[in-house]
Amino acid sequence: MVRNQVPSEGDKLLDHIAHWVPDLDAASEPLESLGFVLTPWSEQHASARPDAPVTPVGSANRCIMLRSGYLEILAPLAPTSIGRELQAGIDRYVGVHLLAFGSSDTKAEQARLEALGFPQRPVVALRREVETETGDTVTLRFTVGRAELGSMAEGRVQFLTHHTPEHLWQTRYLGHPNTAEDLAEVWIVVADLDEAAARYSAYLDLPAGRNGPGTATIRMSRGRVSLFTAEAFREQIPAAEVPTLPFIAGYGIAVANPARARELADRAPGVVVNDTLPRASGADPDGFAAVLPGSAGGTLLFSRSGVLGTAH
């Protein structure tokens, strides 16, 4: 592990996003072609409390571990409540449906959100088994607090606390050929920008700043959330699709060598590369967007900052 993935008290991080897909293998192919190293297939388990039985939740994943944050590919395995939730999201569109924020105390975040009137599902203890670099099998442990289904219309929005980050961020998964380093930003396209900006500001307990017509951004201690109207998002990435409103459109990845990432993207089957991005003052001049095929869905930005537009 190269960075502390658990924030200090009171801080919030952009922890990870997840693509919800019908087929893990098919979704993995374009991401591997883009130069990402993926973790092995893993089935997820959970318990309602630490001393409760651990049972399968009906989903499996693969991850792309970054120096800070990570990407997840998540697929349903069985018609459990979680499996049905994933399938319902996939039926809307294949792509990013999950946005997870890191906290040092998920239970405290849950209490704060409930006091503000955000409906919350019961906190769960999530578990899954992984193999370490020495060949041992260990259990990854997370405390997860999810917004009640439907209360955050963009998808599954949640806080989580990592209890075993040293086993999740393994060195062997951090050396990506495309030089990817950090999950820098996530993009949400909405119908009502004022409502969404106020809601996410309250959810994160952080101010939302306006960047220009049709855009707003919330900056955390690590990473940021940027909100767009459909028109403003299409101006930023003309090749990106807007399948429905609202939706989580994609995310920005900070890379050490954008030229190397571009070489791989140009050869990736089914990936549409868009380098005609608006160049605001302070924006990375060598950044480009990659629109993933329908097997994975979503749009990625590769640039030194990982931020769409200006990082300031």
CATH of the domain at 162: 3.10.180.10
Long-range contacts of 75-81 (CB under 8 A, 24+ apart): 75/20, 75/21, 75/22, 75/23, 75/24, 75/27, 76/22, 77/43, 80/56
Q: Is residue 242 domain-shared with residue 149, that is, in the same domain?
A: no
Is residue 5 one of the residues assigned to a domain?
no
Residues 70 and 140 in one domain: yes
Can you give the pLDDT of all 312 residues of the chain as single tens digits? 445 677 888 899 999 999 999 999 999 999 999 999 999 988 877 766 656 677 888 999 999 999 999 999 999 999 999 999 999 999 999 999 999 999 999 999 999 999 999 999 999 888 878 888 888 998 888 899 999 988 999 999 999 999 999 888 999 999 999 999 999 999 999 999 999 999 999 999 999 999 889 999 999 999 999 999 999 999 999 888 899 999 999 999 999 999 999 999 999 999 999 887 776 656 678 899 999 999 999 999 999 999 987 665
* Each residue's pLDDT tens digit, 51-70: 667 788 899 999 999 999 99
Number of C-beta neighbours around residue 81 at 10 A: 10
Residues 144 and 212 in one domain: no
Q: What is the pLDDT of residue 212?
A: 84
Residues 143 and 41 in one domain: yes
- Identify whether 156 is part of a domain: yes
Q: Which two tokens stand for residue 42?
A: 């893993």
Report the C-alpha gap between 126 and 49 in whole angstroms. 9
- Report the pLDDT value the prediction gives residue 31, as an integer from 0 to 100: 98
Rounded distance between C-alpha atoms, residue 297 and residue 73, angstroms = 11
Same domain, 208 and 123: no
Q: Is residue 8 part of a domain?
A: no
In a domain, 6, yes or no: no
- Residues 115, 244, single domain; the answer is no
Distance of CA 91 to the CA centre of its chain: 19
Residue 87 domain flag: yes
Contact between 73 and 24 under an 8 Å Cβ cutoff? The reply is yes
Boundary of a domain, candidates 108, 139, 173: 173
Domain enclosing residue 157, as ranges = 13-173
Residue 129 domain-assigned? yes
Same domain membership, residue 202 and residue 70: no
Shared domain for 134 and 205, answered yes or no, is: no
Is 33 domain-assigned? yes
Q: Quote the number of domains for the chain.
A: 2
Q: Give domain status of residue 109, yes or no.
A: yes
